Amino acid sequence: MYLDIKDEVKEALDSNLPVVALESTIISHGMPYPQNVEMAKHCEEIIRSYGVVPATIAIINGRIKIGLTDDDLYLLATSKNVAKVSRRDLAKVISTKEMGATTVASTMICASMAGIKFFVTGGIGGVHRGYEEAMDVSADLDELAKTNVNVICAGAKSILDLPRTLEYLETKGVPVVGYQTDYLPQFFTRESEYKLNLRLDSPEEIAKMIKTKEELKLDGAVLITNPIPEESSMDKKYIDDLIDKAINEANERHITGKDVTPFLLAKIVEESEGKSLKANIALVYNNAKVGAQIAKAYSKL
């Protein structure tokens, strides 16, 4: 009733061809213009190059769009009137016919409504550092626990408390797969010191695990964590120092709630003079590739 599925996405879904969803908060609140729109378009091209149909998701004038036009992407990338929409915000933004960029949580909800099983992003939200005081835990984590859309990401940034994020996912029963790695990828760097329980080395093995999980009727996502390519990986100490600085500034300025993550992301881009943005884009492209490969492998089972 609130869903507009683009023709090519609908045709692919009707014929059981692979489709991969993409989020829009990364466009409107995660990266600056014009890199954001270039990134969004090129992600779709990468997914297409594997014979998979991309479906970027956003709320345009109160309609849930599954698959966007170039004009929609441009609007999301440039407009200042795009709300950051997580699970709690969906009904409001739709009922008032606003523009909204979907987070990991709400993109999963919308993808699931459309029948899409795979979703590629950069990094997920998680348990924030300083959790003991602020109790800031992203709604992404609970969504991963209950909505049946599998998410391909590059782990999470150390703006988050990574060990607590992993503990939370364990409690909620979310399988976290290291793709060709034994350790949680740390977004800008290939790996963290945090060991994962689950490593799989091929898209086919991951597709098979997802299929089995469905047959067992275990709800929620499989979270696939894919390390940034070697050549784009940043110096760990350099980036961690910038992140510490950004978190201190957010605390001093009393930034809270949904503004925390966008503030930190923008600050890190600014402080690294765009170096972090380059790495961010490279890891998203790599996730688009692996996500398309997994969706394709799944469609052959």
Q: Please identify every residue annotated as catalytic.
A: 23, 157
| DSSP 8-state secondary structure symbol assigned to residue 135 | -
C-alpha closest to that of 154 among 61, 247, 285: 285
Binding range to ligand PSU, per CB under 6 A, among 46-54, 117-125, 284-292, 293-301: 117-125
d(Cα 160, Cα 165) in Å, to the nearest integer? 8
Q: Are 131 and 101 in contact (CB under 8 A)?
A: no
Query: Counting contacts by CB under 6 A, is residue 138 touching ligand PSU?
Result: yes
Q: Are 104 and 287 in contact (CB under 8 A)?
A: no
Q: How far is the CB of 133 from Mn ion (least distance, A)?
A: 13
Binding range to ligand PSU, per CB under 6 A, among 63-71, 120-128, 144-152, 202-210: 120-128
Query: Counting contacts by CB under 6 A, is residue 189 touching ligand PSU?
Result: no
Question: How far is the first Cα of the chain from the last one, in angstroms, to the nearest whole number?
Answer: 31
Of residues 210 through 269, those in contact with ligand PSU by CB under 6 A are 258, 261, 265
Q: What is the size of the binding site for Mn ion (CB under 5 A)?
A: 1
d(Cα 105, Cα 85) in Å, to the nearest integer? 9
DSSP assignment of 238-272, as one string?
HHHHHHHHHHHHHHHTT--GGGHHHHHHHHHHHHT
Among 72, 136, 140, 161, interactor with Mn ion by CB under 5 A: 136
Query: Counting contacts by CB under 5 A, is residue 143 touching Mn ion?
Result: no
Both tokens of residue 11?
């045709």
Going by DSSP bridges, is the β-strand pair 198-200/223-225 parallel, antiparallel, or unpaired?
unpaired
- Number of other CB atoms surrounding residue 48 within 10 Å: 15
Q: Which is nearer to ligand PSU, 157 or 296 (CB)?
A: 157
Q: How far is the CB of 268 from Mn ion (least distance, A)?
A: 17
Q: How far is the CB of 234 from ligand PSU (least distance, A)?
A: 13
Query: Counting contacts by CB under 6 A, is residue 27 touching ligand PSU?
Result: no
Residue with tokens 């998701």: 57
In 3-state terms, what secondary structure has residue 174?
coil
- Which residue lies nearest ligand PSU, judged by its C-beta? 30
Among 139, 145, 198, 266, interactor with ligand PSU by CB under 6 A: 139
Binding range to Mn ion, per CB under 5 A, among 2-10, 18-26, 134-142, 232-240: 134-142
Residues that bind Mn ion (CB under 5 A): 136
Residues that bind ligand PSU (CB under 6 A): 23, 25-26, 30, 86, 103-104, 122-123, 125, 138-140, 157, 258, 261, 265
